[in-house]
Amino acid sequence: MKNNGSKIIFIMICSLVIAGCGQKDKMAESAENNVSAEADGTEIIEKNSLQTAEPADIPEQFNETINGVNFALKPEIPENLDLAGIKRSTAEKQVPDLEQVISITAENRTVEEESKDKTEGENGVIYDSYYAKYSDGSMVSANTTLTYATPFFEKIHNAFRLEEAGKYSKSELAFQSPENCFQEIQKSLNQFGYESDGFHYDYYALDYQTMQQEEVQLDKSGEVLGTKSEWSADDDCYYFYMEQIQDGIPVFYGEQDFPADSLENRPIQAVYSGDGLERLDVYKLYQFQTEDERVSLKDFGDIAQKVADKYGNILTGAEYTVKRAKLYQMPVKAADGTYEVKVIWFFETSEKGVDSETGENFEYSVYTCIDAETGEEVTI
């Protein structure tokens, strides 16, 4: 009986040990699986968070008064933009390919004047500089920027002024559609060494009848000359104003001295006629490197609060009305010379009041850029 009892106790102890070992193995396996699952899960969560991040709340119309500042605007964002899919990026400024520029512009032309030099660009980098005037009156100037023009443009320059652009239509001229002309301009940009994901453009269709009426020739002192040019349908052309697109969003091109979001400030402008490219100005184009990380935007109401805080706390008695808000990609120069790209809201605000010194009424447009991700003001 005693032996039987000892056997039973021994069997129970063995069972407990085996069970304990089994449980330990299961716990170890479970822990290993959890670690693996956690690692995989973290990756999955991170990937999903990039793909399914909550888009910012941006109303179609924003009419509010916050801290005494009036908002009466429609937030401007590209149609069909995926607000949760904007990628973080960096950028560098592009320069034209001088060999290509010279080869293309000099084709079938004789050089009358030519100069080659060096110019200092950003961060002290030295670039080649080239200027040429051809026997047919065409010219090209290229360094960190590019200007190309034919004699045709001088005639257009005397007839078209942006402040009088309302006299021209945005219709299609007989020689070609604006869409086809724009595609040809893009090809020229590529041939001159520029790359881009795309452009947004505005244009005016300049018909010769209207230009004939609007032409004003000036002498070197600015005095109006009485002479007029001969005009015909061969002078019909399109005037394009272009801005670069990155990840579906226009790229901000304003500067401290010229912050306005206006056509005359656009960094790429071109004139195209039935004979081809007549004028091309490329002042600023960026090359972008995108990352996998997405940018999470704040709700528009939070951004508007920042603008209201800025202007509402100015104790001058002026009245502030925010009239425009446009979403942009804004390259901001970093210490290493590259550009960190911020998604920003560009606000145009009317400041209206009475001058404290003269007593005269005034109204100005003031501009503010707010980081759409952090809500902090970004200096232009």
Which pLDDT belongs to residue 8? Answer: 36
Which pLDDT belongs to residue 334? Answer: 86
Whether the per-residue pLDDT at 308 is higher than 80: the answer is yes
> For the chain, how big is the Rg over CA atoms in Å?
32
Which pLDDT belongs to residue 240? Answer: 98
**3-state SS, residue 247:** coil
At CB < 8 A and 24+ separation, what contacts does 102-105 make? 102/130, 102/132, 102/140, 104/188, 104/191, 104/192, 105/132, 105/134, 105/138, 105/140, 105/148
Whether the per-residue pLDDT at 90 is higher than 90: the answer is yes
Name the pLDDT band for 228 (thresholds 50, 70, 90): confident
Which pLDDT belongs to residue 26? Answer: 42
Q: Determine the Cα–Cα distance for residues 138 and 154; give it in Å rounded to an integer.
A: 10
Which pLDDT belongs to residue 232? Answer: 97
Q: Determine the Cα–Cα distance for residues 301 and 287; give it in Å rounded to an integer.
A: 32
Which pLDDT belongs to residue 53? Answer: 57
Percent of the chain with pLDDT over 70: 85
Amino acid at residue number 268: I
Give which of 306, 307, 300, 309 is closest to 322, Cα–Cα.
307
Of the given ranges (304-313, 329-338, 368-377), which has the lowest mean pLDDT?
Answer: 329-338
Give which of 329, 317, 347 is closest to 284, Cα–Cα.
329
Which pLDDT belongs to residue 316? Answer: 87
Name the pLDDT band for 324 (thresholds 50, 70, 90): very high
Of the given ranges (214-218, 278-282, 359-363), which has the lowest mean pLDDT?
Answer: 214-218
Which pLDDT belongs to residue 124? Answer: 84
Whether the per-residue pLDDT at 233 is higher than 80: the answer is yes
DSSP H or E stretch at residue 180 = helix 178-191
Q: Over the stretch 109-150, which tens digit does the pLDDT of each residue have?
A: 999 999 999 999 887 889 999 999 999 999 999 999 999 999
Q: Over the stretch 18-74, which tens digit does the pLDDT of each residue have?
A: 444 444 444 444 444 443 433 344 333 343 344 545 789 999 999 999 999 999 999
> pTM of the entire structure?
0.81
Q: Determine the Cα–Cα distance for residues 111 and 137; give it in Å rounded to an integer.
A: 10
Which pLDDT belongs to residue 258? Answer: 81
Which pLDDT belongs to residue 128? Answer: 95
Alpha helices in 220-327 (DSSP H): 300-312
Which pLDDT belongs to residue 59? Answer: 97
By DSSP bridging, strand 319-333 and strand 69-73 are parallel
Which pLDDT belongs to residue 222? Answer: 67
Residues ≥6 apart with Cβ < 8 Å to 260? 254, 348, 365, 367
Mean pLDDT of 340-358: 95
Question: Does residue 332 contact residue 339 with C-beta atoms inside 8 Å?
Answer: yes
Residues ≥6 apart with Cβ < 8 Å to 230? none
How many C-alpha atoms does 369 have within 13 Å on its Cβ side? Answer: 21
Whether the per-residue pLDDT at 301 is higher than 50: the answer is yes
Which pLDDT belongs to residue 197? Answer: 85
Whether the per-residue pLDDT at 259 is higher than 70: the answer is yes
Mean pLDDT of 70-86: 95
Q: Which tokens go with 135?
A: 């026997």
DSSP notation for 18-46? HHHHHHHHHHHHHHHHHHHHHHHHHHHHH
Q: Determine the Cα–Cα distance for residues 58 and 297; give it in Å rounded to an integer.
A: 10
Residues ≥6 apart with Cβ < 8 Å to 156? 206, 211, 235, 237, 239, 271, 278, 279
Whether the per-residue pLDDT at 263 is higher than 50: the answer is yes
